[in-house]
Structure formats: structure tokens, C-alpha cells
Amino acid sequence: MDLGGQRPEQGNDGARLATHGVDSDQTRRVLRWTYLGRVAYQSALELQIDSREQLRQGRADERLILLQHPHTYTLGRSADRGEILAGSEWLAARGVTIAESDRGGQVTYHGPGQLVGYPIINLDPDRRDIRRYMHDLQEVLVRTLAVFGLAAEARHEQPEIGVWCAGRKVASLGVHISRWITTHGFALNVATDLSYFSGIVPCGMPRVEMASIESLTGSAPEIEHVALACVECFCDVFDRQPQPIRPEELASPT
């Protein structure tokens, strides 16, 4: 799939992705995508909600918002605060904040070096199947990892839902669907500091071993390159036409 010849452009806190060119295929739904660099969790949540409402009201196309978060533990709808093992001093010393989320799932970690993807898409009318949606997200991640030489597998049953490689979990999923419009999504460990997972029971699995592309391959690709691969794989799996969107175009018109 042609992403318009886009290449990373250097900017603050990592590269910004260029936004020149579009896929010429006009037969598929448009997916507007962007990579934002590092964004606070609450700010990203507000952006998702705003994007969802724009889509619902017909004022915007579907979106795939890609970014990183600062160190954050998030609690999904099934989370138990007791699964945050770290005390307040440890959290403060390591700069970790805690945020509640309306996504599915339990406790997970977000932080630098992790590519987070928030698809804001409408599953109506042709994809009104939550299980299929989860499987499709996993397929996107499996294909993305293959680009970087990793043979990954999707696991579909609780508590192991996610994407695994060599017996270790490399990507997590947690979604919210409102009237068939999606928010939240996935987190793929690229060059993540995996020690932060020791402060929680990740996804309710006390003995899980987490992994990243870096830990599995011995090298870390630029996260912007992973983002580009992810866009291509997402559009292949979901049959969308990718078009870049600049960050300043995301907000609702005032």
C-alpha cells in the first residue's frame, strides 16, 4: 500500500511524520492518521472523545491516532487498584501517574518507547462484531511485528488477550465501543523500559513476562517507522484508504 511517500521528519520529542500525498484508491473509507509524539494520557483521552463525536456527527472522517504517553498506569473497567503494586514513593520517584480509563481490561503501563494506537472508526454496518474487531487489531499488530522480523501470535482468550512473541507479551489491547464507534485501542512495546511493568500486575497476569521489539531483536527501530508500518497494516486489515492529517486539524472547529 502506498502511504504517499511519507518519511519521518525530525521534531520535538521524536520525529513528526510528513503529511504529503495520499493513497489514490477512492473505493474505500478514508482513514485520517497522525503520529503526535508524546501526549499526556488525559489529553489523549479528550482528543479521542472529541474525534468520536466529530465522526458520529459526520463532521470528520475515521482516524487512527498514534502517539506515546509519559509514564502512566491506567486502570480499565475490570481493574483492581490492588494490582498497582508500587507504593507512592516509588511512583513519585519514577514519575508515574495513575489514570482511570473506560477501556476494557485491567491495569497496564504506558510510557516512552511504546507505540499507542487509538482507532476512531465506525464498525457499522459491516463490522458490527466486537470479537472480530479485537481479532483484526491483533492481526494489525502481528503484521506490523513481521515487518521488523518477528513472528508473533495473537491470543484470544482471557487473561492472555494480546500479541505474544517467544512466549512473552509484546502488545496489549483494550477498547471501548459506543454505538459502534471505537475508542482506545492497542499498545505495542517498541523500546519500552520494561522495568515499569514490575510496579503492576500487567493485565491481571502476575507471572507474565513482557517484551518489546528491542528486547526481542536486540535493536530498536525508530518508533516513527513502526508507526508508518502500523498505518499500512491497519489499512490493509480494515480495508481503509490512508490519508495523513496534521495535528492542528484534529480539534473540533470553534
The per-residue pLDDT string of the chain (254 residues; one tens digit each, 9 = 90 and over) reads 444 434 333 333 433 443 333 344 568 999 999 999 999 999 999 999 999 999 999 999 999 999 999 999 999 998 889 999 999 999 999 999 999 999 999 999 999 999 999 999 999 999 999 999 999 999 999 999 999 999 999 999 988 999 999 999 999 999 999 999 999 999 999 999 999 999 999 988 888 999 999 999 999 999 999 999 999 999 999 999 999 999 999 987 65
pLDDT the model gives residue 252: 75
- pLDDT of 16 reads 42
CATH 3.30.930.10 fits 26-248, yes or no: yes
Catalytic residue among 165, 203, 230, 233: 203
244: number of Cβ within 10 Å: 20
Global pTM value? 0.89
Catalytic (active site) residue 230: no
pLDDT value at position 27? 81
**HEC profile of the chain:** CCCCCCCEECCCCCCEECCCCCCCCCCCEEEEEEEEEECCHHHHHHHHHHHHHHHHCCCCCEEEEEEECCCEEEECCCCCHHHECCCHHHHHHCCCEEEECCCCCCEEEECCCEEEEEEECECCCCCCCHHHHHHHHHHHHHHHHHHCCCCCEEECCCCCCEEEECCEEEEEEEEEEECCEEEEEEEEECCCCHHHHHHECHHHCCCCCECCHHHHHCCCCCHHHHHHHHHHHHHHHHCEEEEECCHHHCCCCC
107 beta partners:
75
